[in-house]
Amino acid sequence: MSILLVPLDDRPCCTQFVQRLAAMSGRELILPDRLGNFLRPGDPETMLAAMAEPHEAFLVSLDMVAWGGLIASRAQAEPLKSALGRLQKAALLPRGRPALAFQSIMRTAPTQTSREEVELAERLVELSVLTARRDPRADSLRASFPPTYLEDYLTRRKQAHQLNRLAIEQARQGSWTGLLLGIDDSRTEGWNVLETRELEPLLPPNASLAPGTDEMGMLLLTRLIRPTRPIEVRWFPEDAALRVGRYEDRSLHAVVQAQARAAGVSLGQSARQLWVYGPLGEQGEACEQPPVGPERAEALIAELKVALDQGLEVGLADVAHANGGDLRLLEALVSSGLAPGLIGYAAWNTAGNTLGTVLATLACWPDQPSPSQEVVRQNFLLERLLDDGYYQAEVRHQGGLAGLKDVPQSVSGSIKRELDSRLNRLIAAGFRPAKLEVELPWARTFEVRLQIA
């Protein structure tokens, strides 16, 4: 099956991850040219031209089609009329072929490239919460923003909401086989939560809504493949299911349920299992994880050994912290030699990002993989362990590497040296010999593109 993916932007999580899962499932995935790259929008007209070609199926980011990508959808540099027109044109192009669309529900914080923008974003998030609570302190905070700043921001929010409603109506009319609205970085209160509650009653049967944005392409690829095997979810500890992630609007259990609905995955007793290594209390940042003992990680490893010996297929979602893996768990995985036996692993960004990645990986994995599919699985697993586990939680925060933008590509050399040493440890733990390529795709250190060969 030839599938055209119009991604959210050109980051690895939106392109490379989906390519890995497509290859694991034996599908051909095609990407258009001129995708969005950080502050440079993609070219919507190129996306529309690609959609006019005779592909068998389509996975379409409406943020890319309307504005040129996720970052561009927050800035909205073009008139709303142009964005509306592109969505209306895009809906006509699949012509009865399977076409799954996804679109973000705008997060509260705008994109930040300076310390001043970080401070303004923090105040916006606070104002969003106070406004949702109808707290009178919101009035004085509102008056503290620069002239027209808040008015312009709220106008963009209204326009994004209007596009969400248009996408829902297109799905209702059958222009899209399916639609997923992803809630970009959230909290349990705020403007985007209010917008979500307004949109939910409008969803037709072929549309769904789930926390997370960057993993939407993976979830809809899974839906397109139509997996038949159920996935069983196990929680470590069990009460982690009820905890709310740092950037989510609902419990982790509810996140998995919503993502499974979006991906067309049934949850139930199965030999194919999603193991969730959850937070013990409030979820914190991986770079600030406390130096605790290895006992908890070793207990999971003991259960994992039994499961793998029994022939269970396990994907491990580490959401003990946000923005990176639990280093004690990673150490236990490597030292035990069990890491290569996992179907998948993730620990990146938000809990929704991580859970959606592992859920999709498990669902896309075939019952009888070919040798080439097995190579793709192992490469993707290695990339995730190195990126999510080592880079995000540890290497990215070492001296001299941090940066919001304009980080020189020469920094990737320092990153590669650090990750090569960890790759050697993973190879010693049972992975096949491999070489690593490293790139900073957005000239900042928040994300890295790793290529295992």
How far apart CA 294 and CA 299 sit, in angstroms, is 9
209 & 239 share domain = no
**Is the pLDDT assigned to residue 307 strictly greater than 90?**
yes
* Helix boundaries (H) for 182-294: 191-199, 216-225, 252-263
200 & 242 share domain = no
43 & 113 share domain = yes
**Is the pLDDT assigned to residue 403 strictly greater than 80?**
no
66 & 164 share domain = yes
192 & 298 share domain = no
Using CB atoms within 10 Å of the CB of residue 229, give its burial: 0 to 12 exposed, 13 to 18 middle, 19+ buried. middle
357 & 216 share domain = no
CB 200, CB 165: distance < 8 Å: no
Helix (H, G, I), strand (E, B) or coil at 327: helix
220 & 301 share domain = no
30 & 139 share domain = yes
Last residue of a domain, one of 224, 255, 278: 224
Of 101, 102, 91, whose CA–CA distance to 173 is shortest? Answer: 91
Residue 292, pLDDT score: 86
Average pLDDT, the chain: 96
- What's the average model confidence in pLDDT over 380-407? 88
> In the sheet that 272-277 helps form, which strands lie side by side, from edge to edge?
232-236, 272-277, 313-318, 344-346
pLDDT tens-digit series, residues 365-382: 999 999 999 999 999 999
How far apart CA 386 and CA 384 sit, in angstroms, is 5
Residue 203, pLDDT score: 98
Q: Provide the residue range defining the domain that includes 220.
A: 2-224
Residue 255, pLDDT score: 98
Residue 201, pLDDT score: 97
- What's the average model confidence in pLDDT over 253-268? 98
Last residue of a domain, one of 224, 244, 270: 224
Confidence at 402, pLDDT banded by 50, 70, 90 = low
**Is the pLDDT assigned to residue 207 strictly greater than 70?**
yes
Number of domains the chain contains: 2
302 & 395 share domain = yes
CB 167, CB 182: distance < 8 Å: no
pLDDT tens-digit series, residues 3-44: 999 999 999 999 999 999 999 999 999 999 999 999 999 999
Last residue of a domain, one of 193, 224, 255: 224
Of 206, 200, 209, 198, whose CA–CA distance to 171 is shortest? Answer: 206
3-state per-residue secondary structure call for 211-239: ECCCCHHHHHHHHHHCCCCCEEEEEECHH
Alpha carbon of 384 to those of 12, 273, 276, 284, 326: distances in Å? 11, 18, 16, 20, 13
306 & 394 share domain = yes
pTM, full prediction: 0.96
**Is the pLDDT assigned to residue 400 strictly greater than 70?**
no
Cis peptide, bond prior to residue 7, ω within 30 of zero:
no
In degrees, rounded to 5, the angle at the alpha carbon of residue 50 between the alpha carbons of residues 47 and 53 is 155
370 & 384 share domain = yes
Residue 404, pLDDT score: 75
23 & 147 share domain = yes
Helix (H, G, I), strand (E, B) or coil at 312: coil
Residues above pLDDT 70, as percent of the chain: 99
**Is the pLDDT assigned to residue 399 strictly greater than 70?**
no
pLDDT tens-digit series, residues 32-82: 999 999 999 999 999 999 999 999 999 999 999 999 999 999 999 999 999
